A and B are shown apart, each in its own frame.
Chain A
Amino acid sequence: MLDTLAKRLLQSIPVLIGVLVLGFLLVQLSPGDPARVFAGAMAPPEVVEQIREKMGLDRSLWTQFWGYVERVMHGDLGRSFISNKTVTSELLAAIVPTMELMIACLIWSIPLGIGMGTLAAVWRGSLVDRAVMAFSVAGVSLPIFFICLLLIQWFGVKWQLFPFIGRGGPLWTVEGLRHIALPALSLGLIFIGPVARMTRSSVLEVLRLDHVRTARSKGLNESQVILRHGLRNALIPVVTLVGLQAGYLLGGAVVTETVFSYPGIGRLSVGAILSADYPLAQGCILVLALAFIIINMIVDILYAILDPRVQKR
């Protein structure tokens, strides 16, 4: 298992290099002029020139890239053009809220999705099955911003159950929970559908296998057969597929955070891109890529835990 992880780490190095290159090129290729943005629209050309020189933007592309990589290696991601705080501190402040959002979303949507998918598989063709499938199709096809708006309209405005702007504090406080409820609900709603569908098809497939018949021949009752021999084995592909959906989830987080003015990485990225705050945008892209790599590693670990055939090879 350590082998797998080490291999994964090595494999992620090219990905990280790619992200660095992309983040760097982003600044070079974008239509605006970073020095002009930094100086402000009203600054006289001499000042802009000065700033360009100070930022090293007049040097060759290669020198600039190398300098950038060197700084990133030292943990220096530069300063935000807008707030003038270091990018690292901006990112650190946004990571915790986003992680809280992910946890608050996954903690209910994954178990519920798996439960719904299992029930749908066991009662295949029944009303329950059709309801679950309809629900997941709806969850997949409704755009997430629309779900956010619906939730805001009902839970926020009409019934005034939950606040829908900003973050109320850490997750373990009452206000924190109240504020995260709607973002976590909308993000979870789009995630439940795919999880339920994957679980359903996976459980259906596993329940047809020979070893399930063996389990029955041992005199186990139906719930033991379905949970211990059906669902347990079905989780192996589900975990993989959930990992593949990580990008989907991160993308959803960008929208959710923006709609709910939730101060996480997603909203930070959108803000940075819209205001041409290049150092911050580069930092955000780096963090999102890292998140992707980490999620995939967690998936690998889970996979090895769930499937003994992986470990021993």
Chain B
Amino acid sequence: MTALLTVSDLQVGFQDRGRIMRAVDGVSLSVDRGRTLGVVGESGCGKSVTSLAIMGLVPQPPGVIQGGEITFDGKNLLALPPKEMRALRGGRIGMIFQEPMTSLNPVYTCGEQINETLRAHGMSAPDKARARAIELLDLVGLPSPAKRIDDYPHQLSGGQRQRVMIAIALANDPDLLIADEPTTALDVTIQAQILQLMKDLQNRTGMAILLVTHDLGVVAETCDDVVVMYAGLVVERASTASLYSDPQHPYTIGLMAAVPRITAKAERLDTIDGTLPPPWVQIPGCRFAPRCPLATDKCRAEQPPMREITPGHQVACWFAPIDERITTP
């Protein structure tokens, strides 16, 4: 059986003063209908670039897709003619962006911005489009949608704008929803509401969700499977249950340790010592080695391949399968 979306060995670079830095260096993942895949990793590891690449929205230049394949429902998106790609964008694939405050155009009303995507995908009758827009705003839980539809974005709060953004992404009943940190910029209660909303909508429509986040707490609550990214690479891949009960990669374990109690507001995952290496630094071995408490000479010299530790649980680390005792001092 093939998944709805499969990304294999995706490589995306950015030109910068003559050299190309790899922002994404061999990412593979897949999501199926009705499932939610979480993509976690700290800031700058290439999560947004991966999502944009799926949408065909990596700014080129400076971006360059240097390799890999993205297959959506049997079609290779990287080779799709622009016109067909446009039909998918906002149609069968919807996307919600990280920045709710700036993702909507300030000079058009919410209704106009929803209508635009409806019209681009074939709903041309204005009264039908308006009715659909109101229905969508109601669906995403915007209070008194028939009135708010004529509001401009600056008249809405951040959470309300993100709801409008979700309405836009869902307007044409997508099969895949890419949500790039849909809640990072919002406060905790709104965060929970928005995530719940996405789950409800998924139950209703059976769409697949690719949920990008910093926040392992969010993953635990919403995702079926997880991909952990580090410096443009996937370092661990597992079902959520397996990842939480048996984390394998030292980076993942570090992330878990960095997760505060579920109730507290989730922090950014930067509590592991050290920082992400800048993309132009060539690291011959494991990229996490400079920060890894377990690193050996082998780690520094040779990049570990992805290996299956238990069925469905893969990790790129020479130490795996890891013994819990070694890591928790």
B180 to chain A, nearest CB (A): 10
List A residues 295-313 near B (Cβ within 8 Å). 306-309, 312
Do residues B97 and A307 form an inter-chain contact, with CB atoms below 8 A? no
Are B154's CB and A312's CB within 8 A? yes
Q: Give bound CA distance, A217 to B169, whole Å.
A: 8
What residues of chain B lie closer than 8 Å to A221, measured between beta carbons?
86, 120
- Determine the distance from Cα of A233 to Cα of B94 in the docked complex, in whole angstroms: 24
Contact between A210 and B102, CB atoms less than 8 A apart: yes
* A interface footprint on B109-150 (CB within 8 Å = 1, 0 otherwise): 100000011001100000000000000000000000000000
Residues of B within 8 A of A213 (CB): 57, 97, 103
Check B102 against A211 for contact (C-beta < 8 Å). yes
**Contact B107 A219, beta carbon cutoff 8 Å:** no
Contact of A309 among B88, B89, B117, B154 (CB under 8 A): B154
CA–CA, A221 and B107, complex, Å: 19
Cβ proximity bits A206-218 to B, threshold 8 Å, 1 near / 0 not: 0001110111111
B91 within 8 A of A: yes
CB distance from A37 to the nearest CB of B (A): 56
On whether the beta carbons of B107 and A233 are closer than 8 Å, the reply is yes
Give complex CA distance A216, B86 in Å.
8
**Band of interface residues on A:** 20 to 34
Tell me which of B88, B91, B105, B152 contacts A214 (CB under 8 A): B105
Counting CB contacts under 8 A, is B198 at the interface? no
Partner of A312 from B87, B102, B152 at Cβ < 8 Å: B152
Residue pair A214, B97 in contact (C-beta under 8 Å): yes
A20 to B125, CA, bound (A): 58
Per the 8 Å Cβ criterion, residues 229-250 of B in contact with A are none
Using Cβ atoms and an 8 Å threshold, which residues of chain B touch A307? 106-107
Task: Give the nearest-CB partner of B87 in chain A.
Answer: A219
Q: When chains A and B are docked, how far (Å) is the Cα of A6 from the Cα of B55?
A: 48
Cβ-closest chain B residue relative to A209: B102
- A211 contacts B91, C-beta separation under 8 Å: no
Say yes or no: A312 contacts B103, CB within 8 Å. no
Chain B: minimal CB distance from A73 (Å): 42
Count residues on chain B whose CB falls below 8 Å from chain A CBs: 29
| Contact call B155/A211, Cβ cutoff below 8 A | no
Q: What mask results when residues 185 to 229 of chain A are scored 1 for a CB within 8 Å of chain B, else 0?
A: 000000000000000000000000111011111111100100011
Q: Are A308 and B86 in contact (CB under 8 A)?
A: no
- What is the interface of chain A mostly: helix, strand, loop, or mixed? helix
B107 near A217: Cβ-Cβ < 8 Å: no
Q: Are B86 and A210 in contact (CB-based, < 8 A)? A: no
Chain B 52-68: CB-based contact to A (< 8 A → 1; otherwise 0): 00010100000000000
The answer to whether B106 and A217 have CB atoms under 8 Å apart is no
Q: Does A232 contact B (CB under 8 A)?
A: yes
Report the minimal beta-carbon distance from B43 to chain A, rounded to whole angstroms.
17
Within 8 A of A (CB), among B22-64: 55, 57
Find chain B residues with CB under 8 A from A215 CB. Answer: 105, 116
Smallest CB separation, B286 vs chain A (Å)? 34
| Nearest residue, chain A, Cβ from B100 | A210
Q: Which residue on chain B has the smallest CB distance to residue A306?
A: B107
Residues of B within 8 A of A209 (CB): 102
Residues of B within 8 A of A229 (CB): 105
Minimum CB–CB distance for A237 against chain B, Å: 13
Query: Are A211 and B89 touching (Cβ within 8 A)?
Result: no
Question: Which of A211, A219, A306 is B105 in contact with, Cβ under 8 Å?
Answer: A211
- In the assembled complex, the Cα of A81 lies from the Cα of B76 at a distance in Å of 83
Q: What are 30 A-B residue pairs whose CB atoms fall within 8 Å in the complex? A: A209-B102, A210-B102, A211-B105, A213-B97, A213-B103, A214-B103, A215-B116, A216-B57, A217-B55, A218-B120, A219-B88, A219-B91, A219-B117, A219-B120, A219-B121, A220-B86, A220-B116, A220-B117, A220-B120, A224-B120, A232-B107, A233-B105, A306-B107, A307-B107, A308-B107, A308-B109, A309-B154, A312-B152, A312-B154, A312-B155
